[in-house]
Amino acid sequence: MRTPVDRAILVGAPERGVDPRVGDEHLEELGRLTDTAGGRVVGTLVQRLERPHPRFYIGEGKAEDLRALVRTAEADLVIFDEELSPAQGKNLEDLLEVRVMDRSELILDIFATRARSREAKMQVELAQLEYLLPRLRRMWSHLSRIRGGIGLRGPGETQLETDRRLIGTRIADLKGKLREVAKARDIQRQSRQGQFRAALVGYTNAGKSSLLRALSGSELFVEDRLFATLDSATRSVELGGGHHALLTDTVGFIRKLPHHLVASFRSTLEEAREADVLLHVIDASHPGREEHRQVVAEVVEELGLRGHETILVFNKVDRLTEPERRALEARVRTLEAHAAVFVSALDPDTLVPLRETLKARIRARLSHVMVRFPSVDGETLAALYREGEVMERVDEGATVAVRARIPAELRGRLEARRGIQIQEVA
C-alpha cells in the first residue's frame, strides 16, 4: 500500500560563496515544490560546500548525519536541491535505504501531475524518459520498495518496467508526435499573421494566468501554487480605440529548470518567439524578485530571444506599502533599460497603463496614411475599420477618402488592388 503522504527531508548544499539568505530561500522554495507534489517536509539538512563530494554530493560525515535524521524523522524520501549524478543517487539510496531524488526529478513529477492537454502530457513524458534513461537501475529499485509516490507518477511510470531499447523507441515516437504538433501550432500562428501578439513569460506563480484572466475577461484556472498551469492559453484582449492584441500565457520558469523540460516544451515556448513583444511578469512583492527576473532572462536567452522587445510587468503591487512601491519604481527607473509598468491583477484600474503601453506598441507599427478608393468598394472600407484605426472619413462623390493608421500587412494587400491610392500622412 502506498503511504498517504510522503515524509520528506530536504537537503541543501550551497557553495560557500553563496549568500546564506539565498540558500535559505532556495530551500524554502524546494519545500513549496514538495508541498505542490503532495509531500510533507519533516526535516532539513544543510551543508556549505567548496565542491560536491563525488560519492554522496555532501560529505561522508554529513551523509551519516542525514542517515540518522532519516531514521529519527521516520522519513521515506530525501530531496536534494542540487542535481545528483546517477551514481550519487544510487550511493545515497544504498546508504539511507529510502528513496532519493533531486530538484529536477521533483519538478518533472509536478509537471506530470499538472499536465492536462495531450501535448503537455507528451512533453512531460519525453522529459521524464530522457531523465530516466541513465538512472534505470536506481528507478527499478524504487519499484521494488513501493508503488507510486513522488517521482514515480505520470506518463513515465509504465515505462519504468521496460528496457532501454523500448524506452529509446518511445522517446523517438514522442519526438515524432511532438514535431507534428509543432507543425500544427505553426499553422495556427500563420493564421494569426497581421495581428499584434504578446507573450507572458515569468517565474512560476508570478501571476501570469491571473493577469491574462483580468485583461481578457475569460475564465482561466488560477491557483496560488507553483506550476498551477502548464498548458499555454491565447486570448484576445481589447485595448481600446479599436485595437486588440492576442495575449499568450506560457509555462512558468523556475531556477534550475531541468534541461530536458526546457527542450521538451520548446514548441510551446515558440509562442514567445513569434510574439511582437514579451511581457515579463514579476511578482513585485517577492523578496527574491531580482533573482527571479534573472532566471527568466537566462531561459529567454536560452530560447534565442535575447534582444526581443520586452516590457517588465511588476504584478501584485497591491501587496506593497506605498513607500515600498515608490522605492521599487525609483530603482526600476534607474537600473532598467526595458519599459516597465506596475499592476495588480486584482485591481482593473492598474491595468490601464499596461493596455496603453501595448496600444502604443501597436501604433508604432502602423502606417499613418490617407486611402482613397471607389465608394462602392465596401470591402476596403470594412477592412480599414476592422484592421486599422480610422481617424477621419470624407465622402468625395464617387470616391471615399479615409485617414487611418493601418498595419503593414493590410497596406500590402490594399496596394496590390486596383483603384486604391495610398498616401503617407505627415
Q: Burial-class residue 291 by CB neighbours within 10 Å (0-12, 13-18, 19+).
A: middle
pLDDT for position 98 = 94
Q: What is the mean pLDDT of residues 111-139?
A: 79
pLDDT for position 303 = 76
Q: What is the mean pLDDT of the chain?
A: 84
What's the full length of the chain, in residues? 426
Domains 6-107 and 365-424 share a fold: no
For the cut 90, the answer to whether the pLDDT of residue 421 exceeds it is: yes
Q: The whole model's pTM is what?
A: 0.78
Higher pLDDT, 144 or 297: 297
What is the spatial distance between Cα 70 and Cα 73, in angstroms, rounded to a whole number? 5
- List pLDDT tens digits, range 311-322: 999 999 999 999
Contact between 367 and 411 (Cβ < 8 Å): yes
What is the spatial distance between Cα 139 and Cα 157, in angstroms, rounded to a whole number? 10
Higher pLDDT, 269 or 144: 269
- List pLDDT tens digits, range 159-191: 445 567 777 888 899 999 988 887 887 776 666
Domain 194-362 CATH superfamily? P-loop containing nucleotide triphosphate hydrolases (3.40.50.300)
pLDDT for position 147 = 43
| Percent over 70 (pLDDT), the chain | 85
For the cut 60, the answer to whether the pLDDT of residue 4 exceeds it is: yes
pLDDT for position 121 = 84
pLDDT for position 280 = 94
What is the spatial distance between Cα 207 and Cα 205, in angstroms, rounded to a whole number? 5
For the record, the C-alpha cell of 100 comes out as 532519493
Q: What is the mean pLDDT of residues 51-73?
A: 95
For the chain, domain boundaries:
6-107, 109-178, 194-362, 365-424
Q: What is 6-107's CATH number?
A: 3.40.50.11060
R_g over Cα of the chain: 26
CATH topology of domain 365-424: Alpha-Beta Plaits (3.30.70)
- Binned at pLDDT 50, 70 and 90, residue 337 comes out as low
pLDDT for position 1 = 41
Distances (CA, A) of 291 to 22, 26, 29, 282, 294: 9, 11, 13, 10, 5
